Amino acid sequence: MSETDVYGLLIDGESVPAASGKTFTTYDPATEEPLAEVARGAEADIDRAVESGREAFEKWRTTPPEERGRLLTRLATAIQNDIDRLTELEVRDNGKPLSQARADVEGCARYFEYYAGIADKIHGDTIPLTHGYTDYTIHEPLGVTGQIIPWNFPINLVGRTTAPALAAGNVAVAKPAEETSLSALEVGKLAVDVGFPSGVLNVIPGFGAEAGAALASHPDVNGISFTGSVATGRQVAKLAADNVTPTHLELGGKSPNVVFPDADLDVALDETIKAIFGTNAGQVCSAGSRLLVHKEIHDVFVDELAKRTADLSIGPGSDDPNVGPLVSADQYEKVQKYVNIGRSEVGDPIVGGDAPHRNGYFIRPTIFDNVDNGMRIAQEEIFGPVLSVIEFENDDEAIELANDVDYGLVAGIFTTDVGRAHRFARDVDAGQVYVNEWFAGGVETPFGGYKQSGIGREKGLEAIESYTQVKNVCLKIDQ
Ligand code: ADP
C-alpha cells in the first residue's frame, strides 16, 4: 500500500474526504495484506451527497433522454477501455479469479450500454377511458435514488443498479460494501470524466450501520435498491418504510439444482460445478447450493461430481484459478462454521471441508452427501463453496423439496424431457428458472426473488419500472 492509495468519497463530481476525516482499510483477501485506505462515509456525507443529488436532479430529469443515453454509452465505452486496470483492481479487492472479474467489468459496461438504449424509449400509454375524455400515463423518475451494494459482484452491481436509475432520469447515491469499495469509486470517476453533470452519480463508501443506514433512512431519498442478505434487507426496508420510500430488495437464495436420469449428465456435472464452486467461490445469491439428484443416478453422478470437484484449482485470483479466496475473514469464519454444522448434521463431507494451508481466506470446495432437506445446511444460505446433496425419487418429490425453503431466487433443472422442464418451471417458486444450464441470462433478463429472496426486479426492462413512477393524466375534451 502506498500513500497514493487513499480513496475519497465521490460527492458532486469531486473526490473528498469524509466529514469526520476518518478512513478504513480495505484488504486483499488472497494475502490478507492492506490494499488501500478508503474515506469512511457516514450520515453527514450521505447528507451532502443527497443534497448534491437533489440539485442535480432538476437538471438531469429535463436533460433530453437521448443525451442521457449518450452519456451512458460514453461511460460504457470508458469502462470497456479501462478493463485491464479495473479487472486487476477488482481481483485484488474482492479476490475473485481474473477471468470472472473481467466478465464482471464487461457486465458493468454492458449495463450502461443496454440502459443507454432505453433512455429515450420510456413512455406511457393512452387509455380509452370513455368518449369525451383523453387519458394518458407518464413514467417519471423517482428523484434521488440510493443503491446499497454488496461485496460479491462489486463493479457489476454498480452497473446493474445505477444504469437503469440514471437512464430513467434519476440521480444516484451508491453505497458500495465496505469490503470492496474501490471499483465503484472508479466507475464514479469515469462518469465524471466522460461528462456526467456533478452530483448525478455520487459514491459513498462506508460501513453498513453508518453510511448504509443513513442512506436508507434519509427523508430526501426517493427510492432504495438493496442487494444483500435477508437480515440486512429487512432492516433497510424498515428504515425506508419510515419515509414510505419505495424499496426493492434482491436478497439471498438456497436454490435447487435438480438432475433427472434423462439429462445429459456430462453437461449437468459441468453446470453443477459452475453453479456452486466455479463462480466467485459460491459467494453468489443465485448459486446452486442444493443439488437434488434422482435416486437412480445418485451414486454415479455424485461420485463423478466429487472427482471433478477435487480437481478444481484453488489460488489467488491473479492466477485465474477455478476457485479464489473468500472475500474476508468474517466470510471465511461463517463458511467454516457451516462446514462444522454440516459435519455434525451429516458427517464428513465426501470432498473438501478443509482450508489449504496458506495465507488468504481459502476454503476447499466441499460436498455433503445424503443431506436431509430439513437440515440447516439445506435451509440456510452459506454463501461459499459448500454443496448439499439431497436424493429424490420422482417429479412430485423434486418439486416439493425444491420449494421447501424460505427462499425463491432461482432454480435449475437438467432433463431432456421438454414437458418435465416446463412443468418444473411452472411449479417451482423462483424468480428465474434455468433449464440444462446455470446462470445464463444477461443484462436483458429480469432478475429477482420469490418469497424471502426479495421484492421487485432488477435487470432488463423490468428494472425501469422499479425506477419510475406512473402519473395518470385525465382530460375532459367534450364539454
Ligand atoms: P453481508 O452480511 O454478506 O456482509 P450485507 O447484506 O450485510 O452483507 O451487506 C450488503 C450491503 O448492505 C453492504 O453495502 C453493507 O454495508 C450494507 N449494510 C449492512 N448493514 C446495513 C444497515 N443496517 N443499513 C443499511 N445498509 C447496510
**Model confidence over 311-332: pLDDT tens digits?**
999 999 999 999 999 999 999 9
> Within this chain, do residues 155 and 303 fall inside the same structural domain, yes or no?
no
> Within this chain, do residues 272 and 334 fall inside the same structural domain, yes or no?
yes
> Within this chain, do residues 309 and 225 fall inside the same structural domain, yes or no?
no
Which residue has a Cα nearest atom 24 of ligand 1? 213
Residue 94 forms part of a structural domain: yes
Ligand 1 contacts CB of residue 229 (under 6 A):
yes
The alpha carbon of 177 and the centre of ligand 1 are apart by a number of angstroms equal to: 7
Ligand 1 contacts CB of residue 11 (under 6 A):
no
pLDDT at position 222? 98
**Using alpha carbons only, what angle is made at residue 149 by residues 213 and 386, rounded to the nearest 5 degrees?**
115
Residue 275 forms part of a structural domain: yes
Ligand 1 contacts CB of residue 175 (under 6 A):
yes
| CATH code for the domain in which residue 266 is found | 3.40.309.10
| CATH code for the domain in which residue 30 is found | 3.40.605.10
The alpha carbon of 185 and the centre of ligand 1 are apart by a number of angstroms equal to: 18
pLDDT at position 64? 98
pLDDT at position 355? 83
**Using alpha carbons only, what angle is made at residue 55 by residues 50 and 59, rounded to the nearest 5 degrees?**
130
* Contact between residue 342 and residue 215 where contact means Cβ atoms under 8 Å apart: no
Using a pLDDT cut of 90, give the percent of the chain over it: 96
Measured CA to CA, the distance from residue 10 to residue 127 in angstroms comes to 43
Going from the C-alpha of 361 to that of each of 233, 294, 436, the distances in angstroms are 26, 34, 32
Range of the domain at 125: 6-251+454-472
Ligand 1 contacts CB of residue 149 (under 6 A):
yes
Ligand 1 contacts CB of residue 381 (under 6 A):
no
The alpha carbon of 63 and the centre of ligand 1 are apart by a number of angstroms equal to: 33
**Average pLDDT of the chain, as a whole number:** 97
The alpha carbon of 23 and the centre of ligand 1 are apart by a number of angstroms equal to: 18
What tens digit of pLDDT does each residue of 91-132 get? 999 999 999 999 999 999 999 999 999 999 999 999 999 889
Residue 297 forms part of a structural domain: yes
Going from the C-alpha of 274 to that of each of 40, 67, 379, 436, the distances in angstroms are 35, 40, 21, 12
The alpha carbon of 368 and the centre of ligand 1 are apart by a number of angstroms equal to: 29
The alpha carbon of 91 and the centre of ligand 1 are apart by a number of angstroms equal to: 21
Which residue has a Cα nearest atom 20 of ligand 1? 208
Ligand 1 contacts CB of residue 214 (under 6 A):
no
> Within this chain, do residues 209 and 60 fall inside the same structural domain, yes or no?
yes
Above 50 in pLDDT, residue 3?
no
Residue 184 forms part of a structural domain: yes
- Residues contacting 479, CB < 8 A, separation 6+: none
> Within this chain, do residues 197 and 49 fall inside the same structural domain, yes or no?
yes
Going by their DSSP bridges, the two strands 33-39 and 6-7 should be labelled as parallel
Cell numbers for 117, please give them: 438504449
What tens digit of pLDDT does each residue of 112-123 get? 999 999 999 999
Helix (H, G, I), strand (E, B) or coil at 343: helix
Ligand 1 contacts CB of residue 377 (under 6 A):
no
pTM: 0.97
* Band of residue 40 on the pLDDT scale cut at 50, 70, 90: very high
> Within this chain, do residues 263 and 231 fall inside the same structural domain, yes or no?
no
Above 50 in pLDDT, residue 475?
yes
Above 90 in pLDDT, residue 2?
no
Measured CA to CA, the distance from residue 150 to residue 132 in angstroms comes to 52
Residue 399 forms part of a structural domain: yes
pLDDT at position 479? 81
pLDDT at position 263? 98
Q: Tell me what the mean pLDDT of segment 64-79 comes to.
A: 98
> Within this chain, do residues 217 and 328 fall inside the same structural domain, yes or no?
no
- Test site for ligand 1: of 148, 178, 236, 247, most ligand atoms within 8 A of the Cβ: 148
- Test site for ligand 1: of 232, 234, 331, 452, most ligand atoms within 8 A of the Cβ: 232
What tens digit of pLDDT does each residue of 367-391 get? 999 999 999 999 999 999 999 999 9
Tally of CB atoms within 10 A around 473 = 12
Which residue is listed with cell 439444482? 257
Using a pLDDT cut of 70, give the percent of the chain over it: 99
> Within this chain, do residues 339 and 322 fall inside the same structural domain, yes or no?
yes
Helix (H, G, I), strand (E, B) or coil at 301: helix
Residue 393 forms part of a structural domain: yes
What tens digit of pLDDT does each residue of 176-221 get? 999 999 999 999 999 999 999 999 999 999 999 999 999 999 999 9
Active site (catalytic) residues: 250, 285
Residue 112 forms part of a structural domain: yes
Ligand 1 contacts CB of residue 316 (under 6 A):
no
> Within this chain, do residues 219 and 266 fall inside the same structural domain, yes or no?
no
> Within this chain, do residues 170 and 284 fall inside the same structural domain, yes or no?
no
> Within this chain, do residues 228 and 298 fall inside the same structural domain, yes or no?
no
Residue 449 forms part of a structural domain: no
* Band of residue 356 on the pLDDT scale cut at 50, 70, 90: confident
> Within this chain, do residues 227 and 303 fall inside the same structural domain, yes or no?
no
Tally of CB atoms within 10 A around 183 = 27
Above 90 in pLDDT, residue 4?
no
Domain count, the chain: 2
